[in-house]
Structure 1
Amino acid sequence: MELRHLRYFCVVAEELNLTRAAERLHMAQPPLTRQIKQLEAELGTQLFRRSSRGLTLTPTGQFFHEHALQVLEKVDTTVAATRRMARSKRELFGIGFVPSLFYGQLPLLVRGLRQKDNVELTLVELTTVQQIQALKAGRIDIGFGRLLIDDPEVEQEVLFEEPMVAALPVGHPLEGSQPSMAELAEYPLILFPATPRPSLADIVLGMFRRRGLKVHIAQEANEMQTALGLVASDLGITLVPEQVRRLQRDGISYVYLAEKHITTPIICSRRRGEAVSDTMRAANEILAVLVENRRSGKYP
């Protein structure tokens, strides 16, 4: 299978008409028809239903279309970034991160690397699972997440453990206290991210389950900002990493937990066995300073 097959398929999926698709692709219809049939034969499934009224995508065709678009988008992004790097003679360095880390020391790492004249940074918001995939595909060079994932091609380092805090609506009965997990379990829980999983949502659920506590999930949100908005609307409470306290938001009150050992790790992921570039060496040096500052209490 080649990229052109994906491009041909996506155009046909958009047009649902081989004649119009062939015109868009500046090719004759018979060769396009053959390419689509070859693709279906290679996949071992029918991607289109054919009738006198035209084409429609089958369920497997819809699935393939969604993922083919993602592949092509990644390819186009990579090509564009490579061309920018070639024009500027700068090294491309990709950083993947989960959103909650951007309220702590991660911006300081980015700022430090941006001072290097020969580096072009790309920042990509990804879950830890997505970071592992992106590292193996070469889309990023380093990732920062919260899950330990066993993969022979990726090495992970726990930088430090970060306390969890409860985000409550202003005026909540637990505001101003240091509640236990058992007390928090009495209130509806806003969980995030809803997808993809596993994620911070599973870490939070595990904190309750290990203590034999059942929780009522009032709602799931894909974005942390949405989850906090739901908390501010008094629909429930949520647990967030300590760094998120820096996000001052109306209607939200943050409280520390009675159990001080309830934490979530900050994990750095890199490709295993790869030669250390100058930029990676600089990133590691900046990270070492930031981690030491965190452990010594310089940064909350």
Structure 2
Amino acid sequence: MELRHLRYFVAVAEERNFTRAAERLHIAQPPLSRQVQQLEEILGVALIEKGSRPLRLTEAGQFFLAHAKPLLDQVRDLKAMTRRVGKLERTINAGFVASTLYGLLPDIIRRYREAHPEVEVTLHEMTTVEQMQALKEGRIDVGFGRLKSEDPSIRRILLRQEPMVVALFPGHRLAAGEGPVRLVDLVHEPLLVYPRTPRPSFADQVLALFSDANLRPDHVVEVRELQIAMGLVAAGQGISIVPASVQGMHHRNVVYRPIGDKHAFSPIFFSLRHLDRSPELEDMLEVIYAIYDDYGLPHNRESL
């Protein structure tokens, strides 16, 4: 059994159609059918129900698919990491969600560059979902995001839980209050969430915050990005719930209030390919923990 057998079978199983799978693999259909048949002969079991329309997997086929996909992911990771190790120059390509840029990410990158001037660091703004794909394709080496992922080929290290705050325009009825705001006080306000796409996103995290409190906002407005949400808040078009680090934007027409609900936190994840143990990433993780210690921020500590 060879890797091509796994790759061809997974394509057929996911497409549920030999013709579409052949197009996806850029091969003709007859050779694809022969390879799948050869795989069944090697295994000694039927993987696809004969004559089924649309195509259906046997119980053995479903079992094989569940184990073949992680194997192919590991092969892809191995290829990307081997290419990385084989490069003479030392580089880190880092993906980040916009909100982390207003927090400690600039401090992290600056201190890392000072400690390791031989490593070239390049930053790429992208959503958490985009980071997952970029990691698997080898376009970035690490991602700073906020959403959980169940992808077995990606390792997520939870760095810390960042408090959420509500952004309001200065004339808002809650802008001049003291103490934290409760979610129940916000359900009747136009709620600006971002980004509109791709989903899932931070928008879903904010909506889940209300759902966990058995609340539902009356009016939700989806916008493309954080900066647009803040501009609309400043114009009095609604409110927005954002990570506390966004206060670093210092918008003169936006004020921030803490949120008192106990689950009003947004995680920050350090994402990397599952098998990657690059010393550059280990060094970056140590820089992150050192900065958190300097600022007295509670955080989780985990090694690669």
Query: What TM-score do the two structures reach when normalised by structure 1?
Result: 0.67
Shift of 1:252: 0.6
Opposite residue 288 of structure 1, the aligned amino acid is Y
Q: In the alignment, what sits opposite 1:127?
A: 127
For 2:271, what is the secondary structure of its paired residue?
A: strand
In the comparison of the two structures, how many residue pairs are matched? 218
Q: For 1:24-35, what aligned pairs fall within 5 Å after superposition? A: none
CA shift in 2, pair 1:41/1:97, >3 Å: closer
Distance 1:41 1:137 in 2: 17
CA shift in 2, pair 1:43/1:263, >3 Å: farther
Distance 1:179 1:285 in 2: 35
Moved more, 183-192 or 285-294: 285-294
Q: In the alignment, what sits opposite 1:111?
A: 110
Q: For 1:185-224, what aligned pairs fall within 5 Å after superposition? A: 185-224=187-226
CA shift in 2, pair 1:142/1:188, >3 Å: same
Give yes or no for the alignment of 1:92 onto 2:91: yes
Unaligned runs of 5+ in 1: 1-38, 45-81
Q: In the alignment, what sits opposite 2:151?
A: 151
- Residues 160, 291 of structure 1: 8 Å contact kept: no
Deviations 1:21-47 (A, max 9, x none): xxxxxxxxxxxxxxxxxx899599xxx
- Residues 189, 219 of structure 2: 8 Å contact kept: no
- Residues 209, 263 of structure 2: 8 Å contact kept: no
Q: In the alignment, what sits opposite 1:259?
A: 261
- Residues 135, 141 of structure 1: 8 Å contact kept: yes
Distance 1:234 1:275 in 2: 48
Shift of 1:153: 1.2
Distance 1:187 1:109 in 2: 36
Distance 2:234 2:100 in 1: 21
- Residues 164, 241 of structure 1: 8 Å contact kept: yes
Opposite residue 172 of structure 1, the aligned amino acid is H
For 1:197, what is the secondary structure of its paired residue?
A: coil
Unaligned runs of 5+ in 2: 1-22, 29-82, 299-304
For 2:195, what is the secondary structure of its paired residue?
A: coil
Q: For 1:275-290, what aligned pairs fall within 5 Å after superposition? A: 275-277=277-279, 279-290=280-291
- Residues 188, 219 of structure 2: 8 Å contact kept: no
Q: In the alignment, what sits opposite 1:161?
A: 161
Opposite residue 107 of structure 2, the aligned amino acid is L
For 1:139, what is the secondary structure of its paired residue?
A: coil
- Residues 95, 123 of structure 1: 8 Å contact kept: yes
Q: In the alignment, what sits opposite 1:136?
A: 136
- Residues 193, 220 of structure 1: 8 Å contact kept: yes
Distance 1:212 1:222 in 2: 26
Deviations 1:219-258 (A, max 9, x none): 3211101100001111100000001112111211100112
Q: In the alignment, what sits opposite 1:293?
A: 294
Shift of 1:295: 4.4
Q: In the alignment, what sits opposite 1:56?
A: none
Shift of 1:195: 0.8
Give the root-mean-square deviation of aligned CA atoms: 2.5
Deviations 1:110-158 (A, max 9, x none): 1123232321111111111111111111111111111110111111111
Query: What TM-score do the two structures reach when normalised by structure 2?
Result: 0.66
Q: In the alignment, what sits opposite 1:176?
A: 176
Opposite residue 109 of structure 2, the aligned amino acid is V
